[in-house]
Amino acid sequence: MDADVKYVCKECACDESRAKKLLTLCGNDPRRAVKHHRMLQAMLGKQGHSSTKPQVPTPPTPPPEDDPVSAGLEPGTSPESSSSSTSPSKDEGPVAWDFRLPRLPKEEAIDIIGTAHGNQEYDPFEDIHSQQAPAFNLRELCAAVEHGASFHQIQKYMQGFPTGTVKTRINDTVEGIPSIFYAVESNDPSFLRLWASYDAKVSVVHPASGTPLLAYAIGLSEQLDGCDTSDVVTTLLSLGASPKSIPEAFYQPYNKDLCEDELLQHVDGVDAKAKDADFHYEWQWCHPAFIRRLMVRTMHLTNRYHLDRATRLPRVGIRHRQVAAMRNAKGVLGIPHYLIGQTVAANQLMQKLLTYLTVPSKKPLVLVFAGPSGHGKTELARKLGYLLGLALEVVDCTIFNDERELFGPRAPYYGSEHGSPLNNFIAKNNGKQSIVFLDEFEKTTTNIHQALLVPFDNGEYQDRRSRSTIDCSRTIWILATNALDSKILQFCRANPAILQHDTASSQSDYMKSLSRKLAGELRSSFLDRFGAPVTGRVSDLIPFLPFSKGEQAVVAHKFVLDLAERVAAPVVLGPARDQDMGGTSSGSGGEGQQQLLGNIKLCVRRDASVCARLAKTEYSEDLGARSLFNAVGHVKDRLVESYLDEDTEIEGTSGQPKTEYIVDIRAGEIVVRKEAGDDAGEVY
């Protein structure tokens, strides 16, 4: 018996076999093995286990071969079809998979999540033997993700190893599944982007069935009891996942209701014979009927839109990728995937940022976002900050009449020691990249314009508190304005083709010429409105256009998804808090807050037709998304009416199954009803 085994046996009061298993699990590090054993004992003790010698975890026992229900499969599907340890040959064909990942034992994640320490942050490398570095454990990492580790815990664990070490292992499998599937299972885009930062491949497939990661992200919604996964789907597309890994029949045209019967009967490229020209072997994962039903249920309008849009975006060039990677700005390349509509704005912004990254300037980047309210100006600024990892300061210019209100008085005047939110943000980000978003810039006064000229021109700013010079040359200034709305709307009515990005390529020469023509007209109008000093310092002017009819429906659908998320939360009863009208809203409640409308699974049937109707009724070019938010408010009203029509008291629903409500369209009218038989409880 070697020294390490003896040490573990003594400290853990276990036999030789147990000690060897602990050492194997902990990378042959004796101190880590002892710590793991003690933490596991503490955790099991809290859970009421009487054993003082917990066993090293073993993989879960598979269900009996004659029990497809326990295996999570549809009747008639064999348990072998869910195996993921081997890849099928083309002769054998792919096997069916139920979109469930193996559940890894929680004790394997204990070094990361620190369960035995009362959920306090735990450093797995603390007190480790100085002569023996811990091994990167991919299985432990995936187990931690499955059992609710925070992003910070996962990130800290991965950063504890050399980047090259993590990169060489990140594409390995755990229980036969590529590790990035576990990142997607979290339904958190941050985990997915973290995996991608270590070169995890987003084009991987489930080995046994051939199911692409993108399809898994879509179908995952059903495993999460209807929780929307479109943010993860969008992130995958932005990272390079190919929409063509999924048959086009499921998402083209995006603004058409999916028909389950049609897709069960035939899908081009899937149901063809292997020798036919249109046969796609890579699509055979969706050959089983129950997989097609799953895709129909989870391939909602928003997912269809983003998949369809991704097929129309131009391929990112090699040099574009090289520049973005060298400047640590890969997120720039994903900008077009995160917006609904605004193809002109997204493409123009991406090209301007790539130019700025390729040929840096000592002057800051000053951009004008021009377009009607509610069409994505603020959203794009926030996405830009998120994708580039930059601090963002949003300033509402409607409340400032003087530059001293915006930046604060100069020292030694009264109040100068406090500065202002904008002044302090600029000073805090001295010499760093950051974003300042000046909303409704047309409301600013001439002396505010004068105060901005030096920062815009020289990239220098004087801190009002100390009069010290601040370097803001790397700041991205965004001036958002509605002052040019009439010019934009007039141009779009005269050139309607510029709005048809769902049917025409935004990269055609004609579309590019239209975009340049619009930009020229807007710059001239901006000069007339704001004068030469400000206009001369603007790097580029980005136009935001009205939504097309298809885009209007998708925006409405996004608000429906938000409503579904709010009403899915459990009903919480309790004493009402002091608020107007004596209660809380029916939205999602915080801790200790009532939620009277909840535990609902809101499903939209014929979502393209429903959302097109909402958009047709309510969309306004002047209000944009705000008008569509109001339209979905009518759906909420009908849902509440149907909910309150139940002739029973509202009860707390923690742990109870959700009640399903259906949103549908009948004779051109939106109806909301509880799923309890034909036409039961309908509200028009």
Give the whole-angstrom CA distance, residue 25 versus residue 40: 13
Specify the pLDDT at position 592. Answer: 55
* pLDDT tens profile 296-337: 999 999 999 999 999 988 888 899 889 988 888 888 888 889
Instruction: Please say whether the beta carbons of 672 and 612 come within 8 A.
Output: no
Q: Is the peptide bond before 412 cis (omega within 30 degrees of 0)?
A: yes
Instruction: Give CA 197 to chain center in angstroms.
Output: 16
- Give the β-pairing of 460-462 and 669-674: unpaired
| pLDDT band at 94; cut points 50, 70, 90 | low
Task: Read off the tokens for 74.
Answer: 């549809």
Rg (CA), the chain: 28
Percentage of the chain modeled with pLDDT above 90? 54
Is the per-residue pLDDT at 480 higher than 50? yes
Residues 6+ apart with CB under 8 A from 283: 246, 247, 267, 269, 270
Specify the pLDDT at position 180. Answer: 97
* Upper half-sphere CA count for residue 377 (Cβ side, 13 Å): 30
* pLDDT tens profile 526-544: 999 999 999 999 999 999 9
Instruction: Please say whether the beta carbons of 408 and 423 come within 8 A.
Output: yes
| pLDDT band at 276; cut points 50, 70, 90 | low
Element (H, E) at 672: strand 669-674
- 295-299 long-range CB contacts below 8 Å, 24 or more apart? 295/215, 295/218, 295/219, 295/246, 295/250, 295/263, 296/250, 296/258, 296/260, 296/263, 297/222, 298/218, 298/219, 298/220, 298/221, 298/222, 298/229, 299/218, 299/250, 299/251, 299/258
Specify the pLDDT at position 503. Answer: 40
Task: Read off the tokens for 280.
Answer: 């796609």
Which residue did the predictor score with more confidence, 161 or 25?
161
Give the whole-angstrom CA distance, residue 479 versus residue 160: 41
Average pLDDT, the chain: 83
Give the whole-angstrom CA distance, residue 139 versus residue 29: 17
Instruction: Please say whether the beta carbons of 396 and 443 come within 8 A.
Output: no
Burial (Cβ within 10 Å: 0-12, 13-18, ≥19) of residue 494: exposed
Instruction: Give CA 352 to chain center in angstroms.
Output: 24
Specify the pLDDT at position 330. Answer: 87
Specify the pLDDT at position 64. Answer: 41
Is the per-residue pLDDT at 374 higher than 80? yes
> Which range, 48-57, 199-208, 493-502, has the best average confidence (pLDDT)?
199-208
Percentage of the chain modeled with pLDDT above 70? 82
Phi, psi angles (nearest 5°) of residue 395: -115, 125
Is the per-residue pLDDT at 67 higher than 70? no
Q: Which residue has the tokens 């083309």?
A: 90
Which residue did the predictor score with more confidence, 484 or 412?
484
Specify the pLDDT at position 131. Answer: 45
Instruction: Please say whether the beta carbons of 35 and 125 come within 8 A.
Output: no
Specify the pLDDT at position 41. Answer: 66
Secondary structure (3-state) at 367: strand
Is the per-residue pLDDT at 82 higher than 50? no
Is the per-residue pLDDT at 70 higher than 60? no
pTM: 0.81
Q: Which residue has the tokens 């036409």?
A: 679
Alpha helix ranges (H) inside 160-312: 163-169, 180-185, 189-197, 213-223, 230-238, 260-265, 289-298, 301-312
* pLDDT tens profile 560-611: 999 999 999 888 887 655 555 444 444 445 555 788 898 999 999 999 999 9
Element (H, E) at 631: helix 625-644
Specify the pLDDT at position 29. Answer: 73
Instruction: Give CA 681 to chain center in angstroms.
Output: 35
Burial (Cβ within 10 Å: 0-12, 13-18, ≥19) of residue 671: buried
Residues 6+ apart with CB under 8 A from 475: 364, 365, 426, 429, 433, 434, 435, 436, 455, 459
Specify the pLDDT at position 5. Answer: 82
Specify the pLDDT at position 539. Answer: 92
Distances (CA, A) of 511 to 122, 314, 470: 55, 13, 41
Specify the pLDDT at position 117. Answer: 36
Task: Read off the tokens for 243.
Answer: 């929409």
The count of other CB atoms within 10 Å of the CB of residue 369 is 25
